[in-house]
Amino acid sequence: MKALAVDLGGSHATCAIVEDRAILHSHTLATEGSKGLAPWLPLLAEALQTVAREAGAKPSECAGLAFCFCGLVDHASAKVTSTNAKYDDAPDLDLRGWCEESLGVRFEIENDARMALLGESYAGAARGFEDIVMVTLGTGIGGATMIQGQLLRGKHSQAGCLGGHLPVLFTGRRCTCGAIGCAEAEAAGWSLPEVCRSTRDFASSPLSKENAITFERLFHYADAGDQVAIEVRERCLAVWGAATVALIHAYDPEIVVLGGGVMKRASTILPYLQNYVNEYAWTPWGKVSVRCAQLGNNAALLGAIPLLVGPPDS
Ligand SMILES: [Zn+2]
């Protein structure tokens, strides 16, 4: 079965045609510098027509268009509900109408974290599982949840995707969401510089000489034996461990899939989290498997078929 897919990120839009678990053709447009989504819609439709033609298919032969959006969406009404200073016009757009008019196919929309989970469950690290928590570690901490083969969405489309805002420290830092001690306020790309600066002896660490403190730099200096970097690294691992256990207790998954740029250091993070989960998660039925996402930037596109036609039978 074929499907059209759009993965709309903060600075790019990838238009693709997929067939089952393979991406047949794709085109990526750079959307940097443009605030709105409306000017891009004709270009997206054109790119989708092009990739279909390259695959020797007509849009009408596809199961529909799966649209992955980098903000909050209401899947049922196919509307964007909240944006993050990018594509601010999206909540006012009739995307379903645009799709039917320009491509003549069915339209479904979901946010990027849920699309990535769908992709990983269909074609990646969580294939064969129906009870899945996905966590993406990057500038923030995102995620999504599937229970018994169904994406968890909830009344306001926020269910299962706010793992980064689980409190791990009630005396902790103020988060961008307004709460205190969220996992991402204690251990994510945006909060890492402040976490480092407030660590004892920071001034003596080579981290203090860096223009930008990133996880890549943190792991680098920790590997080299810098005590401040080691202390912050261990603290971040513990934060992610606590958040992972909280997610397991909340959603009863069989598997936790970790993605995002920070997982370049999966060799450090995965064994730590698996041990942490084995020790602290209350799962008398067995052990939750902690794995690394496999599909990278392709995950959302490969979520197109399950979004449009539902979970596979096997
Ligand atoms: Zn928060």
Tens-digit pLDDT string for the chain (314 aa): 999 999 998 889 999 999 999 999 999 999 887 779 999 999 999 999 999 999 999 999 999 999 999 988 999 999 999 887 789 999 999 999 999 999 999 999 999 999 999 999 999 999 999 999 999 999 999 999 999 999 999 999 999 999 999 999 999 999 999 999 999 999 999 999 999 999 999 999 999 999 999 999 999 999 999 999 999 999 999 999 999 999 999 999 999 999 999 999 999 999 999 999 999 999 999 999 999 999 999 999 999 999 999 877 65
Distance 150 CA to ligand 1 centre (A): 25
CB 3 within 8 A of CB 62: yes
CB 91 within 8 A of CB 82: yes
Distance 183 CA to ligand 1 centre (A): 7
Burial class of residue 232 (count of CB atoms within 10 Å of its CB; 0-12, 13-18, 19+): buried
Distance 166 CA to ligand 1 centre (A): 7
Distance 184 CA to ligand 1 centre (A): 7
Distance 161 CA to ligand 1 centre (A): 12
Residues in Cβ contact with 313 at an 8 Å cutoff, skipping those fewer than 6 apart: none
Backbone dihedral region of 37: left (phi > 0), alpha (psi from -120 to 50 degrees) or beta?
A: alpha
> Residue 221, Cβ neighbours under 10 Å: how many?
21
Distance 141 CA to ligand 1 centre (A): 9
Distance 314 CA to ligand 1 centre (A): 37
Query: Rounded to 5 degrees, what angle do the CA atoms 257, 175, 35 make?
Result: 80
* Residue 206 structure tokens: 């080579």
Residues in Cβ contact with 142 at an 8 Å cutoff, skipping those fewer than 6 apart: 112, 113, 135, 136, 161, 163, 164, 260
Residues in Cβ contact with 94 at an 8 Å cutoff, skipping those fewer than 6 apart: none
| pLDDT for 34 | 73
Distance 163 CA to ligand 1 centre (A): 9
Distance 219 CA to ligand 1 centre (A): 24
Count of positions (residues) in the chain:
314
Distance 253 CA to ligand 1 centre (A): 22
The pTM for the full model equals: 0.93
Distance 229 CA to ligand 1 centre (A): 24
| pLDDT for 313 | 65
Distance 107 CA to ligand 1 centre (A): 31
